[in-house]
Structures are given as structure tokens and as C-alpha cells.
Amino acid sequence: MALAAAGYLSYRNNVMDRLFSEAGMDPRFFQGSQEAAGAVRRLATYRGQRSTEYLLALAVQTNPVAPEVQTEAIRALRDRHDPRIAPALGALLQPHEGLDVRRAAGGALQDLPCKGECIVSTLHYLERIWRGDLNHEDRGVRPPGFEEVKASLAKDQQALYSSVLLPSNLDSQGLVF
């Protein structure tokens, strides 16, 4: 019986290792962006610390070849309801991160308990914006005729600011506003 359990755990760990590699962490196994995002979704079906650590690694690392891997991992972590995840996702609220990543992190923080370090990260991001730091998508120069795109981005950014400013799960005990 113990041998069967050990065999199953070994098999399970090997499958998670392979999915992690397919998700873009190992170029030898990368098959494309859609396949990588699918690997993240399959990895998210596994419970436990190992899969959570893999998802966290995928969530915090920018993947220029398959950016949807990062947002898929963030969404998968949201469903874990693990309080240790919130600080890592809160750290993704930075102006240099893309809007999709910031939006996924903000959405995930709506469903996770955000305390201490998570609150600090959220407030730091909002302070940087308030002080005039430009978000990633605002740093480029757009030619004339892109006013609609700029207005749409501004609307999306305002929605993000509102969502991270007043999440229902912020533990504001002891904080003075």
C-alpha cells in the first residue's frame, strides 16, 4: 500500500513538473502561447503547496512570449483563497506591469484576504499613480487618431483604481485614514 501511495505521489509530482515546464518556464517544452495557458489551467486543477508554488512562480514572472500565462496563473491563484497568496499578487500592482496583469491581480485581491504587506503594496501603487507615475500602457507616444484608445485605457485604469482602493476584503483594523 505504501509503495502504491509513493508511486502515485511521484507520478503526480512529475505531471505537475511537466505542466510547469509546458507553461513556459522551460523552453524545451514550450509549444505555443495557447498551449502554455492550457498547461496553467491543468496545473491549477492540482491542489497542494507544490502546485500553488508553481502557480505563484508563473504569476510573478513576466513571460513576453506568452503573456496570458501570467494572467491565467493569477486567476488560478484567486480561486485558492490562501492568505499567503495576496502579498505576492499585491506586489504585481506596479506601474511597470501591464494593464492585464494589474487588472488580474486587482481582481484576484477582491477574493483573497488582503492584510499587512498586501495593503502596503496596494496603497504604494495608488500613491505612485497619484504622484504622477505613468502606467506601462501610458508611456508610449500615440499618433493622432488614437483618442478612443486612450479614453478606453483611462476608463479601464479608473476601474482598476476603484477595485483596489475599496476591496471588500481589506483588513483595515488598526489603519487610520
Q: 37 and 73: one domain?
A: yes
Tens-place pLDDT, residues 20-63: 998 986 777 777 788 889 999 999 999 999 999 999 999 998 87
Whether residues 1 and 69 fall in one domain: yes
The reply to whether 75 and 100 lie within a common domain is: no
Shared domain check, 101 and 74: no
Assess if residue 177 is contained within a domain: no
- As a whole number of angstroms, the distance between CA 99 and CA 96 comes to 9
This prediction has a pTM of 0.81
Indicate the number of domains in the chain. 2
Within a domain: 147 = no
pLDDT, tens only, 74-84: 999 998 888 88
Claim to verify: residue 53 and residue 111 sit in the same structural domain? no
The per-residue DSSP string of 30-83 comes to ---HHHHHHHHHHHTTS-SHHHHHHHHHHHHS--SS-THHHHHHHHHHHTT--T
Banded model confidence at residue 177, pLDDT cuts 50, 70, 90: very low
Cα 85 to its chain centre, rounded Å, is 10
The verdict on 17 and 74 lying in the same domain is yes
